[in-house]
Amino acid sequence: MGSEILPIVCILVAGFSVYSFMMAIFAKNEDMKSLSWASGNAPVKSTSPAIEISRTLVHQFTIQHALKIKNPRYRKGIERMILTSGLSAELNVDEFIGMKILWGVMLPLLLIVLNFALQLGYPFFIFLVVIPVGWAFPNFHANAMRNRRVSSVRIDLPFFIDLLALATEAGLDFQGAIQRIVEKARGQSVLADELDNVLRDVTLGSSRAQALRGLAARLDMSEISSFVNVIIDADSTGASIAKVLKDQSAQMRLERFVRAEKEGAKASQKILIPLIFFILPAVFVMVFAPIALSFLYGNGGQ
């Protein structure tokens, strides 16, 4: 019975795929005009080939379906994910949702059609597994980009705070100190690029506190949030920013040292698994195998 129903299901899926393909080609892309970018500009070219390839397919096949997803809470979560991963200049919310539909729905449908048309004989459950993996693929990419940004910022932050402290002690104001550092490190550091965005926001009319809070929102790190709060408090109370920055730098270095100790403790625990299952058996074989062979064959020879 199942073998008779499966061809019918494949034919229906193939028909739906053809219908979706034709609708995407001949549909009027009036909704494309409503796509808005946080920056107000056209998207920059992504460094990821997967995004560049997917973008064209998304605009052809899935963007009109993504626009129909109106859940504010879901779209807010996607927007936050794009912001913290540094992809806000490359993707907007509609394109991100369109990528999820492309990889999670369209790709499995295409594989099912090819499997039926070419008689490849792959089990149907394989394509069911592809659906959640494809749907989550953009999330995986965004989380990987965010982790990379977080690691880069944690490495650079104490050094940047030291430079800010030195620059403010030398007579520059806080904004001028940021400008001097950004001029030297622009394009070479995630933190430098984000500080450049802070300067741009201030130039466009935002207050320093608003621009710094935007920095904390884009990076979404406890260290950056603490740094921003300290600077805003120093501004409001009139405290010396140079002294505050020095204290903050010492605190950052202490936290990094504690974090390194924790990671070292975790590494010593993780090494136990390969030690028990791979290294110790090999040591036992090397030590006890000659003894066992000598005992067996030596007694046999007598």
* Alpha carbon separation from 75 to 31, 84, 122, 191 (Å, rounded): 17, 14, 36, 27
pLDDT band at 287 (very low <50, low <70, confident <90, very high): confident
Of 3-12, 46-55, 151-160, 212-221, the poorest mean pLDDT is in: 3-12
For the chain, domain boundaries = 2-26+41-122, 150-261
33 has a pLDDT exceeding 50:
no
Residues in the chain: 302
| pTM of the predicted structure, to 2 decimals | 0.71
pLDDT band at 174 (very low <50, low <70, confident <90, very high): confident
CA distance linking residue 238 with residue 36, whole number of Å: 40
The predicted-structure confidence for 42-97, as pLDDT tens digits, reads as follows 567 777 777 888 888 888 888 888 888 899 999 999 999 999 998 888 888 999 99
Mean pLDDT of 197-205: 91
301 has a pLDDT exceeding 50:
no
The most distant pair of C-alpha atoms in the chain lies apart, rounded to whole Å, by 97
20 has a pLDDT exceeding 70:
no
Domain 150-261 listed as CATH 3.40.50: no
Mean pLDDT of 223-233: 89
40 has a pLDDT exceeding 80:
no
* Alpha carbon separation from 22 to 16, 209, 301 (Å, rounded): 10, 51, 83
pLDDT band at 39 (very low <50, low <70, confident <90, very high): very low
pLDDT at 264: 79
Residues contacting 153, CB < 8 A, separation 6+: 190, 191, 194, 219, 221, 223, 224
141 has a pLDDT exceeding 50:
yes
Average of per-residue pLDDT values in the chain: 80
Percent above pLDDT 70 for the chain: 83
The predicted-structure confidence for 151-160, as pLDDT tens digits, reads as follows 999 888 888 9
Give the rounded distance of the alpha carbon of 7 from its chain centre: 40
Here the tokens at position 277 are 């299952």
